[in-house]
Structure formats: C-alpha cells, structure tokens
Structure 1
Amino acid sequence: MLDDTDRRILRQYQADPDLKGQELAERAGVTAATLTRRLERLRASGILKGAQAVIDWQALGYAVEVSLRVTLDKSRPQAFEEFTAAARKVPEVVEIQTFLGQVDVRLSVIARDLGHYQQLYREKILALPHMTDVEALMHIARIKYDERLPL
C-alpha cells in the first residue's frame, strides 16, 4: 500500500508538520509536484487525515488529569450509546475509549485543581447514565506521548 517514497514523505511530515511544500519535498527527496500528488493520494485513501492544532491544556491552567475506568450496566441495551453521548457533553472529558472486558470505558478528565475535579466528579461524572462502577486513577507524570508512527 505504501511505498518507500510515501514513507519518507510521512516521516518528514510527522517530524515537522509545519514544513511548507517545497521544504517538505526537499527533505523527502521528491519534487514539489510529486509531493502534492502523493499527499493528495494519501488524503484520498484516508491514511493522512489532516492537520490539527495541539493545545497544551496545562498552559491554560488545567493542572489535574484523571483517568476514570467505568463499568456500565450491560443489561441495558443502549447503555454504551447513552453513556458516551452524555460523556461527550462534559467539556472536561478530553478522551473517551471503549474496551471489551471488565472495564467498559475509560474517560480522561482534566480539571484546574483538585477542588474543581471534585466538583466535576460529583456534579457531572456521577450523573452520567448506566454506571455500575467507577475507579479514578490520578495522573502523576506522562512518561511517553508520541503520536508518530514508526514508518
């Protein structure tokens, strides 16, 4: 599916997404026309989904991150859909993951401080539907965070 040229382009693009066309083409060892054509093909095939702004929520005053492992009432046919729909409405929930197994959902929640987290937990998290159990894991440090793929 990907050839060596595609991989070189994607490696360079991941390394520095702010590079503009000509410089990216030079670093990837292709012409600007080839780069444009390849990027269009990668986007059309769904491999390259686009670019996004990454905002440092800690710089905005959010000092607390908590992972909540949630078990849902599986006897309710719409439990997953209703729970995730409600969780999406909580602005401080920055990530939702679903699993197969004892834990059904993991929420990543940010808060300004412990008092703010306690308020969020009591007023918004505990109000989410169909929860049978919730376990909070306080984040201490992020050891590795890298969305780059080994191409």
Structure 2
Amino acid sequence: MTEIDRTDRRILQELQRDGRLANVELAERIGLSPTATGERLRRLQKDGVITGFGARIAPGKLGLGLLVFVEVSLDKTTPDVFERFAEAVRRAPEVLECHMVAGGFDYLIKTRFGTMSAYRRFLGEGLLSLPGVRETRTYAVMEEVKTDGPLPV
C-alpha cells in the first residue's frame, strides 16, 4: 500500500475539486514548489492512487437523463457463472458500473438511457440474455441528490 501523507491528501483533495489544475496552481495551493508537486503527482499516478483524469458530463445534455439501477440475481453462484456474467457485462456499453454485492442478490448495475422504452429494450434484449441471469429488479431514479462526491481523503 502506498504511503499517503498530509501533503498527498491535499493534492488529492485539490485534484478532486478541479482535475484541470495546472501544476503551478496546484503547487501554490498546497504550499510546495512546482517540482516537488510534480514529483508527488507522478508518484501518486505510478502507484495507482490517481487512476486517471476526465470530464464530468451532464447526462441530460446528451439525452441520457434516465438513470436506472438494476439488481441482478444469477441462477447459480459458481466461479464460472460469475466470470461469464462479469465478462459479458464488461462488453455491454450501456452498463456504466457493475458491482458484485453481498445480500439478497448478486450484482448491482448502473445504467443510463434516454427513455424508459430504451431501457426496456436493453433489459429484454441485453441484460436478460446475459449468462446466468435468473432475475432482475429495476429501480428508476426519480431525483439525483448527490453524484460524483469526492472521496474523503
């Protein structure tokens, strides 16, 4: 595990607020030289603490305003069924996130669509045909209260 000190935590906090900060601005905000800041940033990336940078996009502006979570139960809970399902989900572009969970079902999937009928097509033609799927439960989101919250570093 990478040793994360208070200065590293400040870097992570600032970058979670604004991932486009120039190194000089970041250095100024955390009170280090640009060279030292750059070295720390490279180490955090090399060690896999920072996994990438990207833009946050408003889904509604792209016609993807319907957020849907789906509980998935598999017909068997064996390693080969888990692997076949996971591999199929990784290839499904409609699936934004997929998490194996403990509890009353096996996976929780996060998807986005423009309409409920588009989701219905995905459910019938895509999700229910994935390896091992026995049952699903759909939860359409009525209001997104908090999204993309920063990690508490």
Q: Tell me, yes or no, whether TM beats 0.5.
A: yes
One-letter identity of the residue aligned with 1:50: G
1:78-130 Cα shifts (integer Å, max 9, x gaps): 11111122222222111111112321011112221112112221111221121
One-letter identity of the residue aligned with 2:147: Y
TM-score, normalised by the number of residues in structure 1: 0.90
- Evaluate the alpha carbon distance shift between residue 109 and residue 9 of structure 1 in structure 2; reply closer, same or farther with a 3 A threshold: closer
Report % sequence identity: 34
Gaps of 5+ in 1: none
Could you say which residue in structure 2 is the equivalent of 1:50?
Answer: 52
Question: What is the alpha-carbon distance in structure 2 between the residues aligned to residue 29 and residue 77 of structure 1?
Answer: 49
Structure with the largest fraction of helix: 2
Aligned-residue CA RMSD (Å)? 1.7
1:74 aligns with 2:76: yes
Question: What is the alpha-carbon distance in structure 2 between the residues aligned to residue 100 and residue 64 of structure 1?
Answer: 26
Question: What is the alpha-carbon distance in structure 2 between the residues aligned to residue 95 and residue 75 of structure 1?
Answer: 20
Secondary structure of the structure 2 residue equivalent to 1:68: strand
- Evaluate the alpha carbon distance shift between residue 87 and residue 2 of structure 1 in structure 2; reply closer, same or farther with a 3 A threshold: closer
- Evaluate the alpha carbon distance shift between residue 26 and residue 77 of structure 1 in structure 2; reply closer, same or farther with a 3 A threshold: closer
Could you say which residue in structure 2 is the equivalent of 1:102?
Answer: 104
CA contact (8 A) 2:19 2:54 kept: no
1:115 aligns with 2:106: no
Secondary structure of the structure 2 residue equivalent to 1:96: strand
Gaps of 5+ in 2: none
Could you say which residue in structure 2 is the equivalent of 1:6?
Answer: 8
1:34 aligns with 2:36: yes
With 86-95 and 14-23 compared, the bigger mean Cα shift is at 86-95
